[in-house]
Amino acid sequence: MPALEIIGAPQSNYVWVVRMVCEEKGVPYQHTAARPHTPDIDAIHPFGKIPVMRHGDITLCESKAIATYIDRVFDGPKVIPEDPARAAQVEQWVSLGNVEFDKLMIRQYVVGYAFPKEPGKPDMGAIKAAAEKMKPQIDVLDRAVSKTGYLAGDAFTLADINILPMLFYVSRYDEGRAMLGAAKNLSAYMQQHFARPSFQASKPPPPPPKN
């Protein structure tokens, strides 16, 4: 079987997701670091976004499509259940993650800190407004994991893999850390799954020190 290549910057939560799928399933892969809109990315993604994948003659973009392909093609534990009802629950949470949680938690809150429009000067007004909007989302997740410790059913799935990098990044900043710490079920969920070998093996390197 040809080598599987995952292409994209390791700090991207969605690159992290597909790498974690590989680790969870025990699938060997090559990770090629590349930023959005670089030649390797533009050759596969029509809008230059990461991650993208190569597997022999097959190329794919978009993390959900890549994760589904890996889950179906390779051996190892299923991250998307075979049962249609459970698979639909996973799909539901992945969609919510991509459309709702990522849009606010990452694109507004985390990016507000990590990539301010004026270097070194985060817009704290916008960040605090995003943090306020995150409260209902954190409540939703706290309730969702309260019964089984997983988002979809009673096993670890792509639903969990998709949301864990987002929660990790949110937890790095004061407002997010405080809200997540106060959500008892979600806090326990994070502590359990952040320690998972697949999470640790695919975890991005820390940012370089500032001069």
Tens digit of pLDDT for each residue in 108-133? 999 999 999 888 899 999 999 999 99
Q: Is the pLDDT of residue 210 over 60?
A: no
Residue 208's pLDDT is what?
54
- The pLDDT value recorded for residue 196 is 98
Mean pLDDT score of the chain: 96
Percent of the chain with pLDDT over 90: 94
Please tell me the distance from the alpha carbon of residue 165 to that of residue 98, in angstroms, as a whole number: 12
Distance, CA of 80 to CA of 153 (rounded, Å)? 11
Report all structural domains of the chain as residue ranges with CATH numbers, in order of start.
4-73 (3.40.30.10), 84-196 (1.20.1050.10)
Asked if 106 and 97 count as a contact pair (C-beta separation under 8 A), the reply is no
pLDDT tens per residue across span 13-60: 999 999 999 999 999 999 999 999 999 999 999 999 999 999 999 999
Percent of the chain with pLDDT over 70: 98
